[in-house]
């Protein structure tokens, strides 16, 4: 009456679909796809590199001094990150598995763990390659108003101010003198 087998089967099927597990497998589900195996291999190499470089450092290491990990594991982390970005692009275009546009949860979870270790735990960062274009565009936009106002000032027709002399009677100095006499 409880239909436990049916309920469990539906639960596992929904979990399988929600986690995009089929995206880690070959199309006929014979095993892991080549890209997933390559990713997991690089993931294991990255974790091994992290562990190896942490063991080589002193025990009383301050929490922000992981320069050896950053320096020695930069190449493996960069390869892993590049492969993950490539897999994301390929999955959006319909790569090895013909399923949804998301990577399987195992690959995404592994990359989340690695990125969290790299950035939060070890305080490492990859140099941003698009810094120069950002600075160039920002400085161009910053100087645009200056160029606009300068060109508007130089190209506008400046009217020279001419002093216009009044055309009325010189002054009422006589009236002032008359009032002073009567006071």
pTM over 0.75: no
Find where tokens 């002399």 sit. 165
pLDDT tens digits, one per residue of 34-67: 889 999 999 999 999 999 988 755 544 455 567 8
Tokens standing for residue 18:
């929600």
Q: What single string gives the DSSP state of each residue in the chain?
A: ---HHHHHHHHHHHHHHHTTGGGGB-TT-SSB-HHHHHHHHHHHHHHHHHHHHHHTS-TT--TT--HHHHHHSHHHHHHHHHHHHHHHHHHHT--SS-S-SS--HHHHHHHHHHHHIIIIIS---PPPTTHHHHHHHHHHHHHHHHHHHHHHHHHS-PPPP-PPPP-S-S--HHHHHHHHHH-
| Bridge partner residues of 25 (DSSP) | 32
pLDDT tens digits, one per residue of 107-153: 999 999 999 999 998 888 876 677 888 888 999 999 999 998 888 87
């Amino acid at each position: 009456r409880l239909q436990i087998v049916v309920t469990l089967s539906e639960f596992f099927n929904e979990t399988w679909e929600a986690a995009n597990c089929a995206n880690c497998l070959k199309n006929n589900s014979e095993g892991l796809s080549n890209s997933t195996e390559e990713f997991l291999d690089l993931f294991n190499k990255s974790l091994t590199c992290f562990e190896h470089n942490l063991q080589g450092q002193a025990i009383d290491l301050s929490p922000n001094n992981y320069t050896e990990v950053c320096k020695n594991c930069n190449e493996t982390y960069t390869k892993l990150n590049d492969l993950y970005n490539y897999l994301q692009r390929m999955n959006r275009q319909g790569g090895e598995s013909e399923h949804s546009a998301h990577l399987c949860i195992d690959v995404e979870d592994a990359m989340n763990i690695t990125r969290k270790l790299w950035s939060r735990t070890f305080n490492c960062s990859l140099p941003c390659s698009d810094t120069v274009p950002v600075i160039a565009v920002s400085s161009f936009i910053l100087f645009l108003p200056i160029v606009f106002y300068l060109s508007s000032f130089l190209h506008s027709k400046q009217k020279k101010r001419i002093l216009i002399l009044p055309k009325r009677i010189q002054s009422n100095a006589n009236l002032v003198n008359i009032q002073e006499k009567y006071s």
